Structure 1
Amino acid sequence: MTNSVTSSGAATPLISPPSSSLHPSQTVSNIQNLIPLTLDPQQVQYHSWAELFQVAARTHCVMDHIDDTTPDLMLSKAKWDQIDVVVLSWIYGIITHDLLLTILKPGSTAREAWLRLKNLLHDNKSARAADLENQFNHDQLENFSSVASYYQHLKMLSDQLSDVDQSVSEQRLVIQLINVLSRDYDTVGIIISYTSPLPSFDIARSMLLREETRRGQHFDNQPLVTQLALVTPITPHVPNPPIISSNNRRGVN
């Protein structure tokens, strides 16, 4: 508060306008800084994305905009509606373009968009589960650049199967990992399969990565001619057998 002086010399107080208090949600300039995953059903598990979103919602006091909890009674309806638009923009901002066009509706609240998205990704669970199972069982290691990339692919499929109520056990993950190994990994594959109990998925991956690294180093240390022989099978040259006439079989006098 400051004072001003009138022409008569009397001081009159000047009241500063109250500073507008921002709701925690209105301090977020970019939701992707809080939720680094863009929801893509082909790559990101819905359950993981939703968990990250709800963490951000709880942190910024907006859970009542996506679930059925009682709205904040300290807020006016106009303020609550304003914050709801903020939350709605969060949802729209971290999903794929195709998902956005699917759930976008004029005048939607954040909760309505949240429920449409949830219902969409939980529809046709049986069909999605069948497709994911087919990928899980038939994708081969040879189609991936490394053991690490194949491991990540299996883990992603496992998460997506869990999202459609088809959880994959740790043991099944390990078995699938060693079932697709090429003959180059026979030794380490046998070690893993005969370990009782089976090692965890992460430990099996580490064992295979060490073998992959060892094989790469062994290959790099070979002379160029040897490297070519390792990647290009050489068919030995077998000379044509001599032609023996019928007269020479027993000898001719």
Structure 2
Amino acid sequence: MKGIDSFTNKTQLLSKLSIPSTRSQKYRTRSSPLIVPRYHRVLAHIDGSDPPSKTDPTYENWTEIDAIILQWNYGTISDDLLTWVLEPDSTAYEASFKIQNIFLNNKGPRAAALEHEFTNLTLRAMSSLEAYCQRLKDLANVSKIWQVN
């Protein structure tokens, strides 16, 4: 298997795929979800590539790495989404596919909600002018990700 095969490398991958703890870290993770897997050469776990067969000598290593990526996927979504995605014996690809479908199926209502929040946000509702400007910027950036005009 390309990429990760030793315990040390798996441990390093897990630490690098740490769960984002702040809102800005979660935003950066959601805005560029393929960068980390591509960098660590584990994109095959979420792009629909077939896993090795159970008789393949690399299968056990593949399942361990897949579990790390699955854990990372679960840690980057809200608890509400987690209840829709969490399934026993799921692979990282299956979870990623479900997450993608949830967002794609929710695009219209999400776009309307973003537009409504952007239009109706007032300075009075925010703690400071800086917070107000940051929230407007965040909404604009999220709209770009969702390709909302």
TM-score of the superposed pair, with normalisation by structure 2: 0.76
2:69 maps to 87
1:24 maps to 9
Judging changes above 3 Å, is the alpha-carbon distance between structure 1 residues 63 and 38 closer, same or farther for their aligned structure 2 residues? farther
Aligned-pair Cα RMSD in Å = 3.0
1:154 maps to 136
Instruction: Give 2:110's aligned amino acid.
Output: R
Shift of 1:85: 1.2
Judging changes above 3 Å, is the alpha-carbon distance between structure 1 residues 22 and 57 closer, same or farther for their aligned structure 2 residues? same
Judging changes above 3 Å, is the alpha-carbon distance between structure 1 residues 51 and 138 closer, same or farther for their aligned structure 2 residues? closer
Judging changes above 3 Å, is the alpha-carbon distance between structure 1 residues 50 and 24 closer, same or farther for their aligned structure 2 residues? farther
Question: Whose radius of gyration is greater, 1 or 2?
Answer: 1
Which aligned pairs between 1:1-253 and structure 2 lie closer than 5 A?
21-22=6-7, 24-31=9-16, 33=18, 36=20, 45=27, 48-69=28-49, 76-167=58-149
TM-score of the superposed pair, with normalisation by structure 1: 0.48
Which stretch of the first structure deviates more once superposed, 51-60 or 148-157? Answer: 51-60
For the Cα contact (< 8 Å) 2:67–2:92, is it kept in 1? yes
Q: Distance in 2 between matches of 1:121 and 1:49?
A: 15
In structure 1, the gaps of 5 or more residues are: 1-19, 168-253
Percent of aligned positions with the same letter in both sequences? 33
For the Cα contact (< 8 Å) 1:54–1:63, is it kept in 2? yes
For each residue in 1:133-184, what CA deviation from the matched residue of structure 2 results, as whole angstroms up to 9, or x when unmatched?
A: 11111111122121110011101111222233213xxxxxxxxxxxxxxxxx
For the Cα contact (< 8 Å) 2:31–2:145, is it kept in 1? no
Shift of 1:51: 5.0
Q: Distance in 1 between matches of 2:116 and 2:128?
A: 21
Shift of 1:108: 0.6
Q: Which has the higher relative contact order, 1 or 2, with Cα contacts under 8 A spaced 6 or more apart? A: 2
Instruction: Give 1:54's aligned amino acid.
Output: L
For the Cα contact (< 8 Å) 1:32–1:94, is it kept in 2? no
Q: Distance in 2 between matches of 1:31 and 1:102?
A: 26
